Structure 1
Amino acid sequence: MLERLSWKRIVIELLLFCLPALLLSIFIGHLTLLLLISALCALLWHFYNLLKLSHWLWLDRSIMPPPGRGSWEPLFYGLYQMQHRNRQRRRELASLIKRFRSGAESLPDAVVLSTESGHIFWCNKLAQQMLGFRWPEDNGQHILNLIRYPQFAEFIKRKQFHEPLTLQFNKGSYIEFRVMPYDEGHMLISARDVSQIRQLEEVRRKFFTNVSHELKTPLTVLQGYIEMLGDDDTRPEIRHKALTSMKGQTERMSSLVNQLLTLSRIEAAPRYALNEKINVPVLLDSLAREANILSNGEHQLHFDVDAKLQVLGNQEQLYSAMSNLVYNAINHTPSGTDIYVSWVLTPRGAQFSVKDNGPGIEQQHIAHLTERFYRVDPSRSSQTGGSGLGLAIVKHVLNHHDSLLSIESQLGVGSEFRFVLPGRLVVEK
């Protein structure tokens, strides 16, 4: 390694320049003039090396420094080492920035970096998609010029960031903003789409409201009859009517609770491998007997079943979906209605269909039929004991079996509920 530059080395170098003048002065005299000439040569030599250094620093694009001699050699080498360290630090810094940006891009949130005054100097791609930013065009823009909501402006100006701010954007989505000051005079603003969480909260609120309403009605009826039966003077025929009504209300609550448990179990169940072989014709034979008992001869039931068509799936869930569709047709159509149940093989897969020639359903209701507790006619559903959960159960079962419920209905003509299990689930005959 080269020796570092020191004052001793500079003195020795100066003496070397003066040594020829001293030797010549012994023979020809004129020591002062010779020393001045030696000093001028030393000055010219240093000036030449200074020009080489300036050329290397500002004009020469090579990495290696020019060759140096004497006191300039450690100087050139030291500058080269300093440049090398600076390049290495810049590479490390660039790599660190690249890793930071890569990590920020992989975050599930939109990230915006700004000054304390609100001027943006970086944002990730999700911020461009979610908030409509353009990068790098918006570099240096004030964030309040891009997010123009009074609540957001007040949130930024108030500088109380311990609680997040949720805004409903024009497109209907809900965005939650969090601001975290960092370093000195900088802010990190994160934004997350919480629309689904808000929807789930709304569904949960409606769910509890509906369950409370569904349970409150039969409980009120039971409470009234219990108070009436507590009177010893109640006539036998009234007591019998009260007990019959209480039994019906109890069965209604029991059915509601069972359907809620079924729906909860299906929703919480993991995705099955769908490798259980199901003998659907046997299931439908049992379902036909139960349907005839439920109908009590008031409907004309027709079953068209391919006796050899079996599928892979979850037997309990699939039977629940099929039975709900058949029971709905019986419960929500008047006496004398023809109900056609079919289980056949089609080019798309195994198709199950329940069709009737009942009064039909208005088109505005069809899109909402699979929602929990949704009823086309609440008064009629209350009379028939419907809870509004049957088709919600069907929807979740079919999701587990990679299928969808198709509903077609026309007023005065009838309705058809149909789903097709994909061909990969059909057992080869």
Structure 2
Amino acid sequence: MSSPWRSEFSFIFLALLVGAFLGKVLNSFVIALWFCLLAYLARHLFYANRLLVWLHSGRSGQPPQGDGVWEEIYYLIFRLRRRNKRRKKQLIRMLERFRTATAALPDATVVLGPRDEIDWFNEAAERLLGLRRGDIGQQIGNLLRYPKFSHYMQNADYRSTVSIPSPLADNIQLEIRIVPYGEDLRLLVAQDVTQLRFMERVRSDFVANVSHELRTPLTVLKGYLETLSNADKPMSESYLKVFRRMEEQTIRMESLVDGLLSLTRLESAAHQVVQKRVDVPAMLKNICNEAELLTEERPTIELVLETDADLLGAEQELHSAFSNLILNAVKYTPPAGRVVVRWRDDGKGTRLDVEDTGPGIAQHHIPRLTERFYRVAVDGCKNKGGSGLGLAIVKHALSRHGAELKIMSALGRGSCFSCCFPEERVVRGASQVDAKLAQGL
């Protein structure tokens, strides 16, 4: 038995002896027992009141004096309070270090509460978002009044980001990301991407300008080469071979310029998607028919239309995306293989699957396939003449329609490129067109 309880039982034993003595003196053991119980209860009430006064005082000094089990209770509470005090100081130091580190960040950082109210922000938030100390407790939506930001907060899809101008200067572009943490808490991080956007615009303008400037000399060069190749005067076979090679490279260069211009147009924010109903089944039939006329040595092309649903979007962009996928599959599939083009409804929208029985693609290449100019060397598929821009065009065209490109492939087992369109883009009847347009698509 521990020492506190030994002392406590000693006190109880002493009280019983006193009670027995009083009972013999008063000749009533019942009265003596009640007297002992009241005395024992009064002792506990006295020490409990002393504990309550000590806790209410908030003093962290030595605990009050006691005996028996109360001495141990006082000591344990004192030790617990001292430990909590040390832990509190440690947490305060950690919090101060966190705030100091966060304040030094160049990105604006804002802590949001459960109702989107501002709990804390760093100095960069004052400089980029225009927040002031008096704004603590205000809802962030009342201070950043931008429709894109309000829509972003309402959707609560924090996997993406949103770009808005700074409230202090329209020429400063901010990219905002929200990171949920804790219980109903979120961290808003706003990064100044003005220089990045400027460099992207410079790159896009440079590519567009160079592409436009190249078209004229390429057209002239192509015309002269065709004239020389078709001249009436006989020409030696060596010269004719040189002219044909020059014409092939000119055509390839022209295709590259057209691809760059298409990418520039797709990436341009000013270029809006024209909303109209696109007859996808008819478009796929035409693309497959064109693919069959490319060459005699081609794989079997099978078109499977499991739904007659159409899409709402830009016909030219969708045609470019679909034709790139289908022609790529035909190009890289051996003549003995097969290409299956399947248009179907997957319950969450519509989906175009382009499957081939080609050589397949290694897994480490798949994440980079949609990068511009990224090409994969495929065994047995040489001199295909691709520019490396086709899948980049597909990705941007689908992104502008809210769709997603999924790629599944394995070496020796072929590939499957899937275009997944959301339900809001699907049109299954004439009555749906006006309804979809009314929703703002």
Q: Larger Rg: 1 or 2?
A: 1
Give me the TM-score of the superposition, normalised by structure 1.
0.48
Q: Under a length normalisation based on structure 2, what TM-score does the superposition of the two structures give?
A: 0.47
